[in-house]
Amino acid sequence: MSNILKHAERELSLIGYDGKDAYNNMAKAAIMELLSTFANQGHSGFSANYVTDVFNKLARFETLSPLTGEDNEWNDVTEMSGYKQFQNKRDSAVFKDDTGCYYLDALLWVENNGNIYCNKKSRGYIKSFPFTPKTFYVKVDKDNNILDTEEYNKAKEYYNL
């Protein structure tokens, strides 16, 4: 067994992936299968970091290059939304309608207790293409008043809010 697989077995066992829970068993088998493939590819330090970084982004449905905004990048979702609207094929949180192009998760609001949420004010309008989606985490009080004006101002520079 390779060192990476031994390491994974040990670490997964420490967090309860020890064969006693069916869901954990399934997840562990999937993780070990991916790591086994990775180990068999014989990566060096550079290629290992590169491959894991790109794999992580793709597995999370993230983009590897900026969105272009070109017509072939949009799906017409008018029928689902009830009004003329398009959803980006490469990033499902990017939309286009008669108000412009926007990213749904431009602003996420962080409460003092650590809870994070989004709302209608989380939408950030895209200033221009090419565009790379970026999320700003802004601290708010219990009445939704912005506490972190520095982060909010960064979001205003990046998006039309």
Residues 83 and 156 in one domain: yes
* Residue in the block written with tokens 């562990």: 28
Residues 85 and 156 in one domain: yes
Domain that holds residue 35: 3-59
Instruction: Please check whether residue 64 lies inside any domain of the structure.
Output: no
Instruction: Please check whether residue 117 lies inside any domain of the structure.
Output: yes
Residues 106 and 153 in one domain: yes
The pLDDT tens digits along the chain (161 residues) read: 789 999 999 999 999 898 888 999 999 999 999 999 999 999 888 999 999 999 999 999 999 999 999 999 999 999 998 999 999 999 999 999 999 999 999 999 999 999 999 999 999 999 999 999 999 999 999 999 999 999 999 999 999 99
CB 131 within 8 Å of CB 70: no
Total of domains in the chain: 2
Residues written for the chain: 161
Residues 76 and 55 in one domain: no
Residues 107 and 31 in one domain: no
**CA 121 to CA 119: how far, in whole Å?**
5
